[in-house]
Chains A and B, each alone.
Chain A
Amino acid sequence: DQQVKQNSPSLSVQEGRISILNCDYTNSMFDYFLWYKKYPAEGPTFLISISSIKDKNEDGRFTVFLNKSAKHLSLHIVPSQPGDSAVYFCAASGNSGNTPLVFGKGTRLSVIA
């Protein structure tokens, strides 16, 4: 039973537009959420995170929103750039980030020039 779900396996967005990647979770003990980005033949690299005490965290073009009541988070990338094309993994952790990360299946983002 998947505790972290990314229901969209792929997403295509025009360059300059907003990319919105979604993630749902089922475990109410999760209190720390992360997004990782993965290029082919490389390991995942950390992108941005959010603690459950917040509902928004922004870092440059990347913003993560957390809706605890809906157990839903989303990653917004604006404006999208061709270099953003990668697989994006949502991950969650409990105990203030001190339990191992549980990952979703990933969403492949393609930004079209």
Chain B
Amino acid sequence: ETGVTQTPRHLVMGMTNKKSLKCEQHLGHNAMYWYKQSAKKPLELMFVYNFKEQTENNSVPSRFSPECPNSSHLFLHLHTLQPEDSALYLCASSLFGTVNTEAFFGQGTRLTVV
């Protein structure tokens, strides 16, 4: 248990569906991240939120829409996804502004787009 909780753990959705991934942290962190892990690829950074403000969007297609209502919660809204979007989506949090601190990851949501 890392203090970062992601739901659901597994999700199967059709290409026309709309779904949301949820991430919650109770570590007092002020930065949250979405990463994507595809087979045989590095963990890819998707979005960064510092103090609830989006500070980075790594050229992610608009079919992925993040939302950060407060420092403890992060959502990833999904719509009209493609089969190649099937991957493990990982949420992480950290204490931005603290020197040399690590990020803590949730267990991930395994997404399958059919």
Contact = CB atoms under 8 A, between A and B. Distances in A.
Contacts of A4: 42
Contact of B2 (A45, A89, A101): A45
Contact of A51 (B41, B100, B103, B107): B100
A42 B56 contact: no
Contact of B42 (A2, A41, A43): A2
Contacts of B110: 41
Nearest to A49: B102
Contacts of A97: 98-101
A96 interface: yes
Interface in B68-114: 90, 92, 96-108, 110
Interface of A: 2, 4, 9, 32, 34, 36, 41-46, 49, 51, 89, 91, 96-98, 100-106
Given A45-B105, A49-B100, A102 B45 contact: yes
Contact of A105 (B4, B41, B98): B41
A45 B90 CA distance: 12
A103 B42 contact: yes
Given A98-B97, A105-B42, 20 more contacts: A4-B42, A34-B102, A42-B107, A43-B2, A43-B6, A43-B92, A44-B90, A96-B99, A96-B100, A98-B96, A98-B98, A100-B45, A100-B48, A101-B43, A101-B92, A101-B103, A102-B42, A103-B43, A105-B40, A106-B42
A111 B108 CA distance: 25
A78 B107 CA distance: 27
